[in-house]
Amino acid sequence: MEALASFKREISSPKKIFITTHVKPDADALGSSLGLANYLIKKGHDVAVVTPSDYPSFLDWMKGTDQVLDFSNPEHIPLATLKLEQADVIFCLDFSVLERVNELGEMIRKSEAFIVNIDHHQEPENFADYRIWSTKAAATCELLYELIVDLGDKDLIDRDIAECLYAGIMTDTGGFRHPNTTKNVHLVVAELIGIGANCSQIANWIYDSNSVNRLKFIGFAISRRLVVREDLQMAYFAISKKDLKKYQSQTGDTEGLVNYALSLDGIKLAALFSEREDGIKISFRSSTEVAVNKFATTYFNGGGHKNAAGGKSMLTLKETVERFETLVDQNQEELFQNDQITTH
Ligand code: 5GP
Ligand code: MN
C-alpha cells in the first residue's frame, strides 16, 4: 500500500518521465509505452520513450513513434542518456528482468529515480519501487488500461491511446486465440472499441502489411528450413544470417514464423532459431499443456510465458540446434507431462 501511495504521489504533479520497454519491442511493448506516454503527456508530464533497439515498421502508425528514441542508434544515445539522467520517474514496461533492455538495464539499476515496473512475464527481478505485475494478464496493455482506470482517468483514454492498447492486447493474445484470452480481455477491448479503437484497421496495419520479400521469405523458410521431429512432437526453423540477408529481412520479418511450426498436427513444441549479429535469437512456442518458459530459462538464458518464451545462444546455429534436439529428447517427461508449471 505504501508503494502504491508513493507511486500516486510521484505522478500527482508534472514530472520528468522516462519510459522504456524490452529490446525488439512488439505491439504490446511499444503500444503500452506509447499508450502510457500519450496519457502522461495529457496529465502535463514531460515524457521520453526510449527503446533499446528499433521496432517493426508495421507499428509506425502508433501516435508518438516520431518521438521515440532508439538506444541502438548512436545519434539518439546522447539525448536518451540525458533523459534517463534527468528522470524523476522511470517506467519499465512489458519486461521484468533488466537484461531485457541491454545497456539501459545497468543505467536504470543505478538511477535514483522512482522506478515503476508494469509487466506480465514470469520470474520478475526485484528492481522497482512499485510494481504492477500479473502473469494472469494477457498483455501489459491490459494492466495499463486498468491502471489508468484505477487512477480515475478513464476519460483521458482517447482514440490514439485506445488503439495503442488494443494493438498490444490483440497481438499478445494471438488475435484473441491464446488461452490468455480471458473474459477480462474482452471486457477491456470492448471498452477500447467503445472509445474508438478501429479493430479491423489495426489488424490490417499489423497483420496485412507484408512486403513481397517477407512473404517470399516465409515461403522459403517453410519449404527449406523447417525440421519436423514427429517422434519428439517438436518442429523448428533454423534461419541463417545468409538466409536473412538473401530476403533483405527487416525487423519484425521473422515474427510469427514459429507459429507455422506449431500449427502442424501432432506438434506441441515449436522453435525458431535465427542467427543475428550478437548470437542466436530463439523463440519457443508450445501448445497449452506444454510449458516452455522454464526450458528457456534453464537452458537458453531466456524466459517468457508458459506457451511463448525466448532465449539466446552463443554457440553456432548448427551447434545450438543440435543442443536443442538433445535437450528436448532428454527432457521429454518434464516438457510434455508437466502440468505443475501453470501461469494462467
Ligand atoms: P518472442 O519469441 O516473441 O521474441 O518472445 C516470446 C516471449 O518470450 C516474449 O514474452 C518475450 O518477452 C520473451 N522472451 C523472448 N526472448 C527472451 C529473452 O531472451 N529473455 C527473456 N527473459 N524473455 C524473453
Ligand atoms: Mn507483452
- Which H/E stretch holds residue 51? strand 46-51
User: What's the CA-to-centroid distance between 231 and ligand 2, angstroms?
Assistant: 32
Specify whether 218 is located in the same domain as 177.
Answer: no
Q: Residue 302 corresponds to which cell in the numbers above? A: 531466456
Specify whether 47 is located in the same domain as 121.
Answer: yes
Q: Which of 207, 224, 258 is the last residue of a domain?
A: 207
**Which of 213, 222, 244 shows the shortest CA–CA distance to 317?**
244
Predicted confidence at residue 13, as pLDDT, reads: 97
Cα end-to-end span (Å), the chain: 25
Question: Does ligand 1 lie within 6 Å of residue 35's CB atom?
Answer: no
Looking up residue 16, the CATH number of its domain turns out to be: 3.90.1640.10
pTM for this prediction: 0.93
342 in any annotated domain? no
Specify whether 322 is located in the same domain as 228.
Answer: yes
Question: Does ligand 1 lie within 6 Å of residue 22's CB atom?
Answer: yes
Question: Does ligand 1 lie within 6 Å of residue 97's CB atom?
Answer: yes
**pLDDT tens across the length of the chain (344 residues):** 688 899 999 999 999 999 999 999 999 999 999 999 999 999 999 999 999 999 999 999 999 999 999 999 999 999 999 999 999 999 999 999 999 999 999 999 999 999 999 999 988 899 999 999 999 999 999 999 999 999 999 999 999 999 999 999 999 999 999 899 999 999 999 999 999 999 999 999 999 999 999 999 999 999 999 999 999 999 999 999 999 999 999 999 999 999 999 999 999 999 999 999 999 999 999 999 999 999 999 999 999 999 999 999 999 999 999 999 999 999 998 898 754 444 33
Q: Which residues contact 139 (CB under 8 A, 6 or more apart)?
A: 28, 32, 120, 168, 169, 171, 172, 173, 185
Residue nearest to atom 14 of ligand 1 (CA): 310
Predicted confidence at residue 124, as pLDDT, reads: 83
340 in any annotated domain? no
Specify whether 202 is located in the same domain as 229.
Answer: no
58 in any annotated domain? yes
326 in any annotated domain? yes
Q: Residue 47 corresponds to which cell in the numbers above? A: 515524457
Specify whether 253 is located in the same domain as 111.
Answer: no
Specify whether 36 is located in the same domain as 163.
Answer: yes
Predicted confidence at residue 337, as pLDDT, reads: 72
Q: Which of 207, 234, 257 is the last residue of a domain?
A: 207
Query: Residue 65 belongs to what domain range?
Result: 2-207
Residue nearest to atom 24 of ligand 1 (CA): 310
80 in any annotated domain? yes
Tell me, what DSSP letter sits at residue 188? H
Euclidean distance between CA atoms 84 and 19, whole angstroms: 9
Count up the domains in the chain and report the number.
2
Number of CB atoms found within 10 A of residue 44's CB: 9
Question: Does ligand 1 lie within 6 Å of residue 305's CB atom?
Answer: yes
Nearest ligand, measured from the Cα of 255: 1
Question: Does ligand 1 lie within 6 Å of residue 310's CB atom?
Answer: yes
Q: Hunting for cell 529490446 — which residue is that? A: 23
179 in any annotated domain? yes
Residue 112 near residue 8, CB atoms below 8 Å: no
- Residue 243 has, within 13 A of its CA and on its CB side, a CA count of 22
Specify whether 114 is located in the same domain as 246.
Answer: no
Which residues, in sequence order, are bridge partners of residue 46?
Answer: 16
Residue nearest to atom 15 of ligand 1 (CA): 310
The CA distances from residue 330 to 78, 333, 334, 336, in Å, are 48, 8, 9, 11
Q: How wide is the angle at C-alpha 276 spanned by C-alphas 271 and 282, nearest 5°?
A: 20
Q: Which of 191, 207, 223 is the last residue of a domain?
A: 207
181 in any annotated domain? yes
Predicted confidence at residue 331, as pLDDT, reads: 94
Q: How wide is the angle at C-alpha 225 spanned by C-alphas 221 and 227, nearest 5°?
A: 130
CB-count burial class (<10 Å; 0-12, 13-18, 19+) for 9? exposed
341 in any annotated domain? no
Which three-class secondary structure state does DSSP give residue 313?
A: strand
Pocket test for ligand 1, best of 100, 118, 282 (most atoms within 8 A of CB): 100
